[in-house]
Structure 1
Amino acid sequence: MAPRLGIFLIWAGACVFLQLDHVDGDPEELMNRMSLLFADNKCVFSFTYEGKWCFDCTKVDSLYYWCSLTENFSVRWKDCVEEDYVQCVFPFIYCGQTYDNCTTTGSVFGMPWCSVTPNYDEDGSWKYC
């Protein structure tokens, strides 16, 4: 019985394999298509995720930092790499005053910080310098 089962499985597998469409592809054309697919994989800041604004890469619902590829998150995302993290925005407004550099004003630990949006007073988004 075992040899018959083995022969049957080989025959069935061959039948399925022969029904698959043959794929001819020019490797250069495939690379061109892939580069178009991934050409705009840039983080978009700021973006909304589940109704909340994100001004930088986030770990929300993930073990790793990620960002959205659209302003309103809609399934398109990527893992963040060093170049993706948001940069300081100068000048920025904090407590009604304009800053052209990182500041320690208001810093609990005395470490320099900056806003990642033009108006910290409105957005409250910042990072250490």
Structure 2
Amino acid sequence: MCEEGPDPKLQSPTCAFPFIYKGNFYSTCTTEGMSDGKHWCATTSDYDLDKRWMYCNITGPDPSIEGPSCVFPFIFKDKSYNMCTTEGRSDGKHWCATTSNYEMDKKWKYCNVTGPDKSVESPPCVFPFLYEGKFYLNCTADGRTDGKFWCATSSNYDADKKWKFCQEDSGTASSKEPPRCVFPFTYNGKYYNSCTEDEREDKQLWCATTSNYDRDKQMTFCTVTKTGCVFPFIYKGKAYQSCTSVENNEGRAWCATTPDYRTDYQTTKVQKWRLCNESDCVFPFVFHGKSYHSCTRDGHSDKKRWCSLTANADTDKAWLLC
């Protein structure tokens, strides 16, 4: 143990994430400050203040027998895995077995060593996203030795390790805004006129970005804001990407809290909508590549103050007058 690291005399029982050590936040176990290379964590939110910590119990693959290339599916603790996993590791790193049965052979490797690993690929781009402490507003080849463009599919790749390859157009990754929902679209032979959660175990709303998902397999997730607005929502056959004042007698902005306002009302007789206000604003948000922490007049010729309803006004076009 280095003098700078945690003091063994003060070891105590349960990890607290995130914790502060030397002014930095840690969301997983770390070897920082340890001369023996062992993983440890703080057991309060501020090690610098409380000096309380413990060794992490790495119960996953043994680092001393790391091996070369992922085999899927593989067995770990009697469960079958079809992609890299963090199961069994207290440091949060993705790994895979390099034979079909880790329990029998104890052969494995870390995933995602030089950039996104194809074995943990997942669907559609989220902008901006964080990768190695830097924000990206479009697809990038950073971190890849093959030069292919990729994007994160959550706002924080460093934390979530979720990503996908970007589609290429004439050899250059597309940096244009992501595709919009197309209504109606066909899925499993059925027509959809609004976002749906059909066939998704996580109940996330999604839509096809072409008229035929069965043929093209192109989709994107729909947006549900922190206050419950659904974008796009359908009202009288038209898709709305942000709050609207249409048919509101007082001219106030509103949104539906269901994918298809009229159809759902006819079915349930419950009016699923709400007035929009500044509590719907998301801060910070990105507009023209710049981050905003409050309402702005930028980009509006009438100089009215506005905010974004999502983290990225450039891609989502969902906004509200403040």
Instruction: Using structure 1 for the length normalisation, give the TM-score.
Output: 0.48
Q: Which has the higher contact order (CA 8 A, sep 6+)?
A: 1
* More strand as a share of residues: 2
Instruction: Using structure 2 for the length normalisation, give the TM-score.
Output: 0.22
* More helix as a share of residues: 1
| Rg comparison, structure with higher value | 1
